Each structure stands twice: as structure tokens, then as C-alpha cells.
A and B are shown apart, each in its own frame.
Chain A
Amino acid sequence: MTQNPYLWLIPVLPLAGAAINGFFGQRSSKTAVTTVALAFPGLSFLLALWIALGFSSSAAPYYFNLAHWVRSGSFSADFAFYLDQLSLVMLLVVTGVGFLIHIYSIGYMAEDPGYYRFFSYLNLFMFFMLTLVLANNYLLMFIGWEGVGLASYLLIGFWFTKDSAASAGKKAFIVNRIGDFGFLIGLFLLIQNFKSLDFREVFEGVTKLPANPTTEGLLTAVGILLMVGACGKSAQIPLYVWLPDAMEGPTPVSALIHAATMVTAGVYMVARSHVIFERAPIALTVVAIIGTLTALFAATIGITQTDIKKVLAYSTVSQLGYMFMACGVGAFSAGIFHLMTHAFFKGLLFLAAGSVIHAVGGEQDMRKMGGLRSYIPVTFFTMLIATLAIAGIWPFAGFWSKDEILWKAYQANWVYWLIGLITAFITSFYMFRLVFMTFWGDYRGIQVDKHGQAHAAQGHGGHGHGEPHESPMVMLAPLMILAVLSFIGGFVGYHNLFEHFLAPVFGSTEAAPAAESGGNTELVFQLISVTVAILGAILAWILYVSKPYLPQKISDSLGSFYEAVLNKYYVDELYATLFVKPLVDGSTRILWQGVDRKVIDDSVNEAADGARHVSDNVRQMQSGNLRSYAGWIAAGSALMIAYMIWLGVGR
């Protein structure tokens, strides 16, 4: 444990950038905004690099207590930061990929009137995400957790004048909230039993607990509740519905938040809490099952989608399922490995998709694309690399991480492995489908002339430049860097290097000797995975390049089943009927008309009316009639006499 006084700068620098751009950006020049927007995250990235270079496993973990925060009885939580190998990996991913996406956004959002606002929000997001990653207690992590949810809402609904964007933002926030509710209850359980939310204290407390059913029950409950939170943030079943809608936001947002960083917060949280999960096998199984099912489920939906970003969204959900599957079988470092490589290739995929969209003037429907590889070669090449990575083809990054997961899954239960394999096949299929539909064949899009407008569907676009054109260098450079990372990023998994690096965090339970000795078996499995991936690619080739009439025939013959998949299994409609509509109806009829109007408003009105009625009646006393006055006096005095006698005056 060593102290590092610079840790707090890493989250706070982007916060400063967000504040400066937020307050002064509207009146500043674009150059100024850009400089501020890049400088602060850039500094954070450099700081992270510097810490990484000076990182030493023996000196780890690093910590720094910035300020006191909560001191309430026996409970205390501070603004304190904590850096170990796990945090370091996350830190580098977040700052690195984040910085690249900032650069990309300069080009993508160049003509948007909300330029300064975008970067302000983006920096704000970086602040919260880094807080989440570097926190040393669950409470500070929860602040980051909520904050990234907020930033996500702001950025999804960035073009808030568009109804669908605003609704998507709200949906994301509300569904996240449901997950956060579970998360909070888990935290309350932790506070109740360990009197602290500090990672070290909680984990020490957990390891000291005796092994009896009560303990296991408690830890299972905590684990499942934490998983509920992770389901919300990382879009797993049943709380994944917000992620496809989140594609309403600008593409850099989708890349950064909904591919590389925010959605991985759930995985990070589960990995961080591995001590709790390892002592609650039932919770781990729940995690694994949810992850596996989500992976398969989302992949099947991805086959049918025609919006390029929606395909990538479902792909993200599916890959996150893989990460949770890994955590669920106890292979936490494999999950983090996949998280890292996923950040590279999924970020690249989204950015490249943004480049494609930019090229065709705002069109996102793949059916209206095609043959783009001659128009936008750089984008094509980088996207191809990313696709090879995600499909898990050797030697790209995705191969190493996905294979690690499948191998560890097989060692836990072959069912996981089988489903994972099938999902890998489907993944490869729909990704290559995307590539072939977009870049092969003839261009099916609308030819735009010099002065015409193409579909300004996203609020981005309509340059009217004529035929599809390549993006500027400021957008291409991050693509190229990410492509390189997607290629070499997996080599850290060679000979289980990555696993060893993370071993001090996750314990040595994973560096099982079986992994080494199972060299030949592992090789066989690797071959199987690659073969499956290539088969998926070949199927996509057949269906979308050589025989393009086939998909229509297949979907027709599948009929209603195809319809169901196309409509995302009607899950959104199901939620609307089951939850949303009763809630809205109940609120309208009971809470608004019933309570607010009848009880609250009416009680106030009735009180006023009552006062008026009372005074109306009392007014009758002043009748001007002498005799009634005398009557009142007589009656009153009789009462007074009675009272005085009762008091004993008449003794």
C-alpha cells in the first residue's frame, strides 16, 4: 500500500474541463472549446500512462485520501481513491479510448450547434467514470455509477428537440434506476453487516465470516442485488431494453459510453466484488446464467436488424453477456480481458459506423448502403479489422479474450461453452453480414447532388456532397489507432500474462495449473472456435454477397418466428403492458386525480370554504335586534354563573 497524491487529479481534470466548457463554451470560439475539451482528458490520459509506467506490483495497491466525507456514527466513507491492477486496466482503457473518441468527436460533431455542450457532457462523463473506477469504497463508486447514468441521459438525449431521442434518454435513465435500486439494497445489506462500504474493510469482513448457511444466504442476497444493479448498467436481461434505444445519441456517444466504458461498469463492479461472489456460488451461477442467456438472446436479435447502429448495440449486449459469463464461472480476469479487447474493437466498430454514416450523409439503414469499400477504403479496412476481432479470428484481439472465456466456461460446465460457441457463430455471422451489406455489392443509397440534402436522420449530415466520401483525418486517426490495438491487444493474453498480472487482485485461484497442462485440449478448443467463426463468415458471404435473394426467402419461410425476432421478441411491448401502462394509469388516476386533486387540493379548498361557512353562520348573530342580543347575554351570563359555581366561587 503506497500513497499516490496524484490519483485524485485523474478524475478531477475532466471535471474542470466540463465546467469550463459548460460555463464559457457558448461564448467561446470553437478552437477554444476544442482545446479545453481535449486538454483535460488528454492530461488525465498522460497521468494514467505515467502511473502505469511507474506501476509496481509490489507497491500496489496505491491509494489517496482526498477529503473526509461521511462520518456518521460507526459508518464512514471518504473521497478516497484506490488503484490496483484491476483499476489500472480500467483506467487505461477509459482514459485511452476516451481520449481517442474525444479526438474523433471533433470531426464528427464539427457542424453541430451544440458543439461545446457535447464536449462538456463528454468530459463530465469521463469524470464520473473515472471516479467509479478509482473509488475505494462502494459509496463513491455509486456516485460515479449514478453520474455516468446522468451523463448517458444527457448524451443520449443530446438532440433533445427530437422526441425519440428525449424518450430514449428517459428510458435509459429509468431502466438504470431500477438496477440502481437493487444495487442500493445490496449496499444497505453491506452496511448493516460490515458497518462500512470501504472495499478493503468489506472484503476483509467477508473473508472472516464463518461458512454457515446464514452467511452464504446473506452473501448470495448481496451478490444477486449487486448483479441487479449490474444488469441495469450493463444492459443484461431483463434490463437491457435501453441500450438499443440509446443509439439515438450521437455515434461517438455510442462508442464511448455504450460500448467501451459505461456499460462495462457493471462488469468492473462484479469483478471488484469477486470476494463476495466467490463465497456465494448461487449468486455466481445466477450471474453466469444471465450472462450466457443474454449473449445468445441479443445475438439472435442482431441477425435481423437493418440499422447499422442497432446491430452494434445488440452486439454490445451480447458481448457483455460473455463478460458476465466469464465472471460467473469465476474467471474474472478473463472477463476483464474481454472487456479491454471489446473496448478496442467495439469502440472501433462504432466509430467506423459513424464514419460510414457520415460518408453517406446520415443514412443508417444498411439496406440503403452497399459497395462502399471503394468510396471509403480506410473506414472499410479498419472496420474489417474490428469485425475480424469481434468474430474471434486468430490472431486478432477478440480471439484471445473470447477463447479464454470459452475455455474457462467449459471447465465449469459444458453447457456454457456450447451456448457460448453457438453465440460466437451467430456473432460472426451478423458482423460479417453488416460488413457485406455495407461495403460489398452496389451502392443502393440515394445519390445526393451538390445542393441536395440526404437523409438528415440523425441531425447529422445532409452535406449534399454527392457520392459517399471519406471522413476527415481527425476522424480517421482514432480509427487507425484502435485498429492497431484491435490487432495487438490480445497478445497480452499470451501465456496467461494478463491473468498473472491480475492475479494479486483476484487471487491465484485462476492461475490453475490445469490451464497450463491443458495445453493440447485448449488448442483443440481454440481451433473449434476459429472454425465456427469462419463458418459464420462464410454463411454471411453466401447470404449477402453471392446469393442475395436467399435472405428474403429464408425470412419468408420462417414467417412469424422471423417477425418476432425482427421485433426484438416484443420485449418492449411486453414491458409496456406489464409495467409502464399500469404505472402510468395508476399515477394518473390514483395519484394525480385522486390524491393530488381530491385529497390535497380539495382539502385546502374545503378548509377555506369551511371558514367561509362558519363565518356566514356566525354573522347571523349580528342581527341588529335588541332582544336577541339580550337573549344571548342572558344565556351567556347563566353559563358564566354556572361555571363560577362549579369553580367554587359561590361557596
Chain B
Amino acid sequence: MISVHLILFLVFGAVAVAGAVNLLAQRHPINSALSLIAVMAALAGEYLLLGAEFVAAVQVIVYAGAVMVLFVFTIMLLNAGVEEHTKGSHVASLFGIPGVLLGSILIAWAVLRNSGTEAVAAGPWINTVSNGRPQDLPGSPETIGPLLFHEFLLPFEITSVLILIAIMGAVVLASKPPSTSSGPAKEAGN
């Protein structure tokens, strides 16, 4: 049944898939990065369609806005160029690609066989505090927030520790070594 939902889904989906394929096709990593940003934006749209507005916002701000920017920074820092054509691994092409195809086809088959084409049902949402406004999307900050700070408090706090460790690790790993090192490393460090 054609509906706005479906059309929007298809549009965003096509953009996402196109971006993904473009990521594979591009030889220069910066082009791949830009394609990935496009994919993330399309996915943010998908999330909105599914009623997850907080997640969509976080996706755009954090994922596309911070992580991808970090990627672009690194690409420019390291002056990554067009990919060279080196001798690859036989296994990767021989076993890997067919493996991926096989796996995805199998999953698709399994998924389609079972979940069929029934639509997303309407009904009350679990773990939500409804403030009674029916046009509100279920994934708003008012509903996610209490979850984060009540049921999922422990993972929340642990992820903050994780971020702290990641900061420290990144600083340590990427800093210049204490003694003087050879040419390109010095340049890269600057």
C-alpha cells in the first residue's frame, strides 16, 4: 500500500544505499568519507520515520558531526592519497565476498520468510512515560531521558568512563614520541 511513509522510506533508503555503494567505489578516502556522511544523513531520516527523534538528532550531531569530522581530519592530517593497487589477499576475494553474499542472502531470506509484510503495529509503548500528547513521537527526549537515568543508569555511567579512557588513549597514542623521530613522522606530528 503506497503511503507517504513508504515513499519517504524508499527515498531515504535509496540515498543510503547509493552512499554505501559510492563508498565502496571511490578510490580516494575523502570521497568515501563524504559518501558516508550522506549515508548517515539518510539514516537519520529513517530514524525519524520510525519515531526515534532523539536518536536521529544524536546521529546527526555526534555521528555525522563529530565522528566523521574526525575521520576527515585524519585523512587530511595523514595526507591519504588515492589507493594504491597492491597485491591483495586471495582469501578475501575468494572466500570473503561469496561469504558476505551468502550470509546476507540467508539473513534476508530468514527475515522475509518470517516477519512477512505486516506493518508496524500501533499500541502502547513499553518503558515510556506518556505525557498524554498523542501526536508526540515515542522516541522524544522526554521518554528516552528517564530511561537513561533510571533503568540504564549503569551502562550510562560506564560509557562515560569508556569515553574518558578513549580520550586518554587517543592522546597517548597520537602524541609525538618523546625523542626526536625521523622526517615524515615529525611532519605528521606537526
Contacts and interface: CB of A to CB of B under 8 A. Distances in A.
Whether A and B touch (Cβ < 8 Å) is answered with yes
Contacts of B171: none
Given A623-B89, A628-B89, A638 B114 contact: no
Interface in A607-651: 623, 625, 627-628, 630-632, 634-639, 641-642, 645, 650-651
A641 B110 CA distance: 10
B110 A631 contact: no
B64 to A, nearest CB: 25
- Most chain B C-beta atoms within 10 Å of own C-beta, residue among A632, A637, A638, A651: A638
Given A625-B89, A627-B92, A634 B110 contact: no
A631 B102 contact: no
B95 interface: yes
A636 B94 CA distance: 13
Contacts of A638: 98-100, 102-103, 106
Interface string B109-125: 11101100000000000
Given A628-B90, A631-B89, A631-B91, A645 B96 contact: no
Contacts of A625: 89, 91
Interface string B56-98: 0000000000000000000000000000000011111111111
Given A634-B96, A651-B114, A628 B91 contact: yes
B107 interface: yes
B76 to A, nearest CB: 23
Contacts of A627: 88-89, 91-92, 96
Given A631-B94, A631-B99, A634-B96, A641 B106 contact: yes
A618 to B, nearest CB: 13
Contacts, number: 60
A349 B106 CA distance: 101
Interface residues of B, number: 22
A631 B99 CA distance: 8
Contact of A642 (B93, B102, B111): B102
A635 B107 contact: no
A629 to B, nearest CB: 8
B35 to A, nearest CB: 20
Given A641-B106, A645-B106, A635 B98 contact: yes
A628 B100 contact: no
A630 B113 CA distance: 29
Interface string A117-132: 0000000000000000
A634 B95 contact: yes
Contacts of B102: 638, 642
A630 B88 CA distance: 12
Given A627-B88, A627-B92, A645 B110 contact: yes
A637 B114 contact: no
Interface string A58-82: 0000000000000000000000000
Nearest to B105: A638
A632 B95 CA distance: 7
A5 to B, nearest CB: 87
Contacts of B114: 650-651
Given A623-B89, A628-B89, A634 B99 contact: yes
A625 B103 CA distance: 22
A631 B107 CA distance: 18
Contacts of A630: 92, 96
A628 B93 CA distance: 8
Q: Which of B90, B91, B100 is most buried by chain A, counting CB atoms within 10 A of its CB? A: B91
A630 B95 CA distance: 10
B47 to A, nearest CB: 26
A176 to B, nearest CB: 70
Given A631-B93, A632-B91, A642 B106 contact: yes
A636 B100 CA distance: 10
Contacts of B90: 628
* Residue from the set B89, B93, B94, B98 with the largest chain A CB neighbour count within 10 Å: B89
A642 B114 CA distance: 16
B103 A637 contact: yes
A631 B95 contact: yes
A634 B103 contact: yes
B186 to A, nearest CB: 27
Contacts of A637: 99, 103
A642 B109 CA distance: 11
B150 to A, nearest CB: 33
Contact of B95 (A635, A641, A642, A645): A635
A477 to B, nearest CB: 97
Nearest to A625: B89
B114 to A, nearest CB: 7
A650 B89 CA distance: 32
The residue in B93, B96, B97, B102 that gathers the most chain A C-beta atoms within 10 A of its C-beta is B96
13 contacts: A625-B91, A627-B96, A628-B92, A631-B89, A631-B91, A632-B91, A632-B95, A635-B95, A635-B96, A639-B99, A641-B103, A650-B107, A650-B111
Given A625-B89, A634-B96, A634-B97, 8 more contacts: A628-B92, A631-B92, A631-B96, A634-B95, A635-B99, A637-B99, A642-B102, A645-B109
Interface of A: 623, 625, 627-628, 630-632, 634-639, 641-642, 645, 650-651
Please name the 9 residue pairs, one residue from A and one from B, whose CB atoms are nearest each other, closest first. Answer: A631-B96, A635-B99, A650-B110, A638-B103, A628-B89, A631-B92, A628-B91, A634-B99, A635-B95
